[in-house]
Structure 1
Amino acid sequence: MGPTDEAALELVRQLKVNAQLQQAWTTHLWQAQNGLHPASAWLLAELAQLGESRPSELAKRRMVDVSVVSRQVAQLTAAGLIERRPAPEDGRAALIRVSERGEQELVRWRRQYTDFLTDALSGWDPDELQALTERLKAANDSLRTTLDRRSGSR
């Protein structure tokens, strides 16, 4: 048996608030310190996790138009945080990766972000936090699978 309509809507509300709070903190970190849009910061972090990628692959993964990723890539390139090179199999396409400066910024950003989370969740039991993390991952996996199934992907 799945969640009631009310429980599902409350979960959506709480996830939205969580995303807004993360967005506010990211905005504070990146716009105040780097002048970057928070979406560009998240793209940089995702690129660091995935490794060298095509902008079109990142757009598909983020479920946005490639023009959105292209604008973010241009901003990150201008800031010296990513590097571009032609794709070996197709010189018209580009491959992008996080630059050395980008890696340094990500290390600094991650430290500030984890300090923020550690402070905010200092009263939590570590097992509670681990359980919440596991449940959120499972929920995200289920949401992605259902979205892919309903949109005809995969």
Structure 2
Amino acid sequence: METTQERLDNADQLGIQLIRFLRLLERATHQFSDKPHGVEKAGYMLMAHLVMNGPKRASALADAVHSDPSTVSRQVAQLVRAGLLERRADPQDGRACLLAATDKGSQLFDDMRAKRSLHLDQMLASWPLDRRQQLVELFDALNTDIENYRPQMATAIAEQRKATR
């Protein structure tokens, strides 16, 4: 059975690799970014969410992407001006509106996604498919845990463990 110190050492190693990954990702973003239609990375993430998950109210979109509503509002305004998103009446509540990708926005998303997939495929060309699938599964699990992590819960658990020792 592993010790707390071994788990903390492993977490430290993971932290180092995550920082390395983020630096490399930032470099790749600058290297391959041509910002079509002036779309920034954050705006692209909003558009991607709407293309993949369908229309949403601005508040629900902000929650879904873990962002501040005022920030989302500014990014949405830019995407609407560019013709990539549109506001539609909410059929459930005529006073509210839903944000949805336009045909132009969906096409841009599809084009950028295909380009990204091509680059990733080339980067991982030497990896066997089963290892690539394992990476997808581990990334999915990591992202889910990051989304669900609540620091106050971890603090409470750590304090409980101390008390039971």
Give TM class, smaller chain.
Answer: 0.7 to 0.9
The size of the alignment, in residue pairs, is 150
State whether structure 2 residue 56 is matched by structure 1 residue 53.
yes
SS of residue in 2 equivalent to 1:4: helix
8 Å Cα contact 1:30-1:41 kept in structure 2: no
| Stretch of structure 1 that moved more, 135-144 or 115-124 | 135-144
Larger Rg: 2
Aligned-pair identity (%): 33
8 Å Cα contact 1:81-1:103 kept in structure 2: yes
SS of residue in 1 equivalent to 2:67: coil
Q: Report what 1:29 is aligned to.
A: 33
Question: Hey, what's the Cα distance between the residues in 2 that align with 1:58 and 1:129?
Answer: 30
Match of 1:66 among 69, 78, 100: 69
Question: Hey, what's the Cα distance between the residues in 2 that align with 1:67 and 1:120?
Answer: 37
Gaps of 5+ in 2: 155-165
Runs of 4+ in 1 over 6 A off after TM superposition: none
Gaps of 5+ in 1: none
Q: Which amino acid aligns with 2:57?
A: R
Q: Report what 2:145 is aligned to.
A: 142
Q: Report what 1:125 is aligned to.
A: 128
Q: Report what 2:110 is aligned to.
A: 107
TM-score normalised over the length of structure 1: 0.83
Q: Which deviations, in whole Å up to 9, do the C-alpha atoms of 1:27-51 show, x marking residues without a partner?
A: 54352x3322111111111111110
Q: Which amino acid aligns with 1:60?
A: D
Q: Report what 1:78 is aligned to.
A: 81
Q: CA RMSD in A?
A: 2.4
TM-score normalised over the length of structure 2: 0.78
Q: Which amino acid aligns with 2:51?
A: A
8 Å Cα contact 1:29-1:109 kept in structure 2: no
